[in-house]
Structure 1
């Protein structure tokens, strides 16, 4: 379980920080800052993993939900729309969600502010030297296990309580990131209540809280890429948690897989267009498990661009690490079969972060059928 550090660590020697700084130069930010004009070989993806922008059709015109109507006379229709999206694509967008436009713009500014710092400033948050395990600056996903690296840097901040966030999260973004989590939490619970209620299951508030008890906000940075057709910003994957809330900037580049294709040649990928004022919501593995497969965690990936650097800011809402998750008993009784086994969510997390991105294969860890 991720726990906050109680005191600031002292470096074993100056060499520790210097080593962290050298490693930071291997990040995509550092490569671009160095004047790179071609993608290095270690970032070049296999042909079947590359993203052809021309092959993706813009969709989701009818998948933008006005959450202000969730408590009004159109409640049932709104719930049906949300549930349909969760059952099919696993993605939808929401407006009138309670997160102010001013805050959304501030998040983008804060992300650019953090990543525009000199490498040695960001390097103090690298794993092994970060002042707390609730903050990590990194690149790609699991670099030591990936055949080809992703063209992305990120800073990840786990929320435990306000005091730890204000003490340990980076000064450049901590206040706005903390406000983002606070303003989105009730929205996430409303969506989860609607989705679980659509399954004709009732959960008490303590159970609901446990299903979104682990919250982590990332700030992702995708620098301009000299050869975007050769690499990816993020490889194909599904998220491990319950629901993810994502703020896109206006540049775009997020793609979701439509349906279950029999082969990679038959796959259809749909671009999720940025909508001003909207937040993207996607279903994670934990909700697919809880729903006994009724709701689909969305397999998605991100394309890079040669035009300008872009940012995105997701909040990953997941069960508490100590929580046991499995198909809801009412659904197993109704379906006559459990498609996933019950497990402690921390075990699922360890498996998820122990491997490189590979589509939805993370779900195999919990699958029975």
Structure 2
């Protein structure tokens, strides 16, 4: 289909191969959005239970916003971080030490990458990329999904600066690396605060512990273009992250929703208004607990379901850094957590096996964590 052509109705999309155009030819949902669609292709129409019903959104609550400026000197700041990780699984941080210009630069680099022609972006797709560490794609796992998600992404796994300079797209490489590098001190400080409550004291947070919690990192650049019928689809489906921590930069459009955390199943089942919008805060970074941290904390810290709405008026971007164990690490409840006699609720699992299990299927809420349960 030539640029500038429009598809006027869902009936006309029946003769247009949406999957071929968006997934295999590399146009993604950005390309679909720019065709002037007046209605959503059926391949993106989500089941009713997966759509975001605004009646299920709680507006009187918001996740904590924590000022990190005095973290090293005020124990109450560390307590606030740990409390948020236990009670919410999500929080935002300000005065985090990452220069605001770095945040602006990586957002602009995200737009710059996705503004490129499809043939340029497609060079980094699964079929064309010279390395598994760089991957451009759309939706989540198109081959496994009954309904596709309204999102394009570029995923960059960090091995070394040398490898990144050799293979990451030049349109966004330097800005992505700068965001990764300038976030490292903040990430270490967050992990030290969180692990102290797990009986891992700062003097014990050695290189081995650092490798276990943050031995590998991946940065994604996500693009959510304007969508016809946004109420019928989603940008990202219900899931929790497989990371130790996720460090998320969102723009000022908004659209991230997290599930209200309940500490018993009965309360969760009784509460149907369970989703909370994470409002954009200028200069803030969103932090969320991942499955690896939930497993290593033996359930003390909770990874929480979250999802992203599609938007009918604005394009949206986000840039998450996934802080992970290394692929060959074995994760399970930390010895420091269970040394007092606490019963382990998770087994020891090879982290790469856990991640492979996550990516074999469509988003399914918290389903992946069951893979590690005893």
In the superposition, the TM-score normalised over structure 2's length comes to: 0.89
Count of matched residue positions in the alignment of Structure 1 and Structure 2: 348
- Structure 2: stretches of 5+ with no match in the other structure: 1-19
In the superposition, the TM-score normalised over structure 1's length comes to: 0.90
Q: Which residue of 2 aligns with 1:12?
A: none
Deviations 1:61-104 (A, max 9, x none): 571111111012x2x11111111110011000011111111111
**CA-atom RMSD, angstroms?**
1.8
When structure 1 is superposed on structure 2, of 329-338 and 232-241 the one drifting more is: 329-338
Distance in structure 1 (CA, Å) of the matches to 2:326 and 2:338 = 22
Which of these residues, 331, 335, 343, is aligned with residue 329 of structure 1?
A: 335
Distance in structure 1 (CA, Å) of the matches to 2:271 and 2:299 = 25
Cα pair distance change 1:102/1:153, threshold 3 Å: same
CA contact (8 A) 1:327 1:341 kept: yes
Post-superposition offset of 1:213: 1.0
- 2:348 paired with 1:349: no
CA contact (8 A) 1:257 1:267 kept: no
- 2:120 paired with 1:121: yes
Cα pair distance change 1:20/1:44, threshold 3 Å: closer
When structure 1 is superposed on structure 2, of 347-356 and 279-288 the one drifting more is: 347-356
Cα pair distance change 1:60/1:157, threshold 3 Å: farther
Aligned-partner SS, 1:68: coil
Cα pair distance change 1:34/1:20, threshold 3 Å: closer
- 1:81-100 matches, within 5 Å, as 81-100=80-99
- 1:229-248 matches, within 5 Å, as 229-248=231-250
Q: Which residue of 1 aligns with 2:14?
A: none
Post-superposition offset of 1:252: 0.2
Aligned-partner SS, 1:69: coil
CA contact (8 A) 1:137 1:154 kept: yes
Q: Which residue of 2 aligns with 1:270?
A: 276
Distance in structure 2 (CA, Å) of the matches to 1:42 and 1:62 = 33
Distance in structure 2 (CA, Å) of the matches to 1:77 and 1:308 = 39
Distance in structure 1 (CA, Å) of the matches to 2:269 and 2:62 = 27
Q: Which residue of 2 aligns with 1:145?
A: 144
Q: Which residue of 1 aligns with 2:183?
A: 184
Q: Which residue of 1 aligns with 2:324?
A: 318
- 2:77 paired with 1:71: no
Post-superposition offset of 1:330: 2.6
Distance in structure 2 (CA, Å) of the matches to 1:316 and 1:322 = 16
CA contact (8 A) 1:21 1:123 kept: no
Cα pair distance change 1:262/1:144, threshold 3 Å: same
Q: Which residue of 2 aligns with 1:30?
A: 31
- Structure 1: stretches of 5+ with no match in the other structure: 1-18
Q: Which residue of 2 aligns with 1:204?
A: 205
Q: Which residue of 1 aligns with 2:285?
A: 279
Which of these residues, 220, 226, 230, is aligned with residue 218 of structure 1?
A: 220
Distance in structure 2 (CA, Å) of the matches to 1:311 and 1:237 = 18
